[in-house]
Amino acid sequence: MNSAEECAKFIKEAHFIVALTGAGISTNAGIPDFRGPQGIYTTHKYDPDRVFDFHYFLRDPKPFYDFARDFLLLYRKASPTFTHRFLAKLEKEGKVKGIITQNIDALHTLAGSKNVIELHGSFYKSHCIKCGKEYSLEEMEKKIMEEDVPHCEQCGGIIKPDIVFFGEQVMHFEEAEELVYQSDLFFIIGSALAVYPAAMLPEFASQKIVVVSKGKVNIDPVSTTLMVNEDIDNFFKEVSKYYYGGEK
C-alpha cells in the first residue's frame, strides 16, 4: 500500500478529522511562503521586524502597507488549491470537523470551509485602532491601493487588518487545542511547525498524525503515523482518487 492509498484508508476510517495548515498549502495558489525562497524573510525586500511588529506599526504603519500592497496583488490572482477544496469537500461530508490555519490568505474560507480557525487572523476584515469601525476586504483593498496609510473615514485613526502581529496573541488557540484533542486523524499540511504556539498543537493529538509537506518539519517522526514529503496538491489528488474510487 502506497502513502496516498494509506492516507485515503485513514480518512475512510476516521470520524473526527482536523487539519493544521501552513504556508505550503498556498504556494501552488501563487502566494509565497514567507520563509521560502521567494518569501519576505529570504529576499530581504521587506524588513519583517518592521512589517509585522505591532509596536512598530503603531509608530510607523507605512512599512506594513508597502508590503500589503504587494500581498494584495498576489492575493487578487490567487484562488484555492486542490487541497483547499478537498478539505472543504470532506468537511461538507462530515469528515473534517475543523481547520486550523497559520495563513492570513483566507483561501480555506474561499474554498468553502466553514469551521476555520485563523490563528494569525486574515485580511478578510480590518478595524480602525482608534474607534473600532470595521472595514471589509473590498473597502480595504481600495484604501490600500489609494492611500499610503489607510485612515478611518469616521475618526481619522489608522486602520489595521485583523492579522496577528509580533507582540499580539494568536487567536482562538484554546479552541484549536480542543479540536486537536478530539481528533482521531490530525493532518499537518504545509507547515514546518517553526512558529509557536501552533508548533505545540501536535502534542494534543492522541491518535493518528499525518504530515504532508515539502521540506523539513519540526516534529518527532516517532509521533507521526505517516510522513509525506511531496507536492501537496499532487499527493492529495492521488488520495482523492483512492478515497472516491476514481471520482473527482
| Alpha helix ranges (H) inside the chain | 3-13, 40-43, 48-51, 54-59, 62-77, 82-92, 107-111, 137-146, 173-182, 232-244
Say yes or no: 62 and 159 in one domain. Answer: yes
Q: What's the whole-number mean pLDDT along residues 5-10?
A: 97
pLDDT at position 2 is 95
Q: Are 123 and 72 in contact (CB under 8 A)?
A: yes
Regarding beta strands 226-228 and 208-212, do their DSSP bridges make them parallel or antiparallel, or are they unpaired? parallel
Whether the predicted model's global pTM rises above the 0.75 cut: yes
pLDDT level of residue 246 (50, 70, 90 thresholds): low
Place of cell 481547520: 99
pLDDT digits (tens, 9 = 90+) for 209-222: 999 998 888 898 88
Say yes or no: 8 and 54 in one domain. Answer: no
For the chain, the domain total comes to 2
The secondary structure of residue 157, as a DSSP letter, is P
CATH of the domain at 233: 3.40.50.1220
Cα–Cα distance, 13 to 63 (Å, whole number): 48
Which structural domain range is residue 127 located in? 32-77+123-163
Say yes or no: 69 and 23 in one domain. Answer: no
pLDDT digits (tens, 9 = 90+) for 149-191: 999 999 999 999 999 988 788 889 999 999 999 999 999 999 9
- Residues comprising the chain, all counted: 248
The secondary structure of residue 202, as a DSSP letter, is G
Cα–Cα distance, 150 to 51 (Å, whole number): 15
Cα–Cα distance, 70 to 246 (Å, whole number): 39
pLDDT at position 167 is 78
CATH of the domain at 137: 3.30.1600.10
pLDDT level of residue 17 (50, 70, 90 thresholds): very high
Q: Which of 84, 120, 151, 172 is catalytic?
A: 120
172 catalytically annotated: no
- Per the structure block, which three cell numbers stand in for 138? 473590498
Say yes or no: 111 and 62 in one domain. Answer: no
pLDDT level of residue 97 (50, 70, 90 thresholds): very high
pLDDT digits (tens, 9 = 90+) for 124-155: 889 999 999 999 988 999 999 899 999 999 99
Largest CA distance in the chain: 62
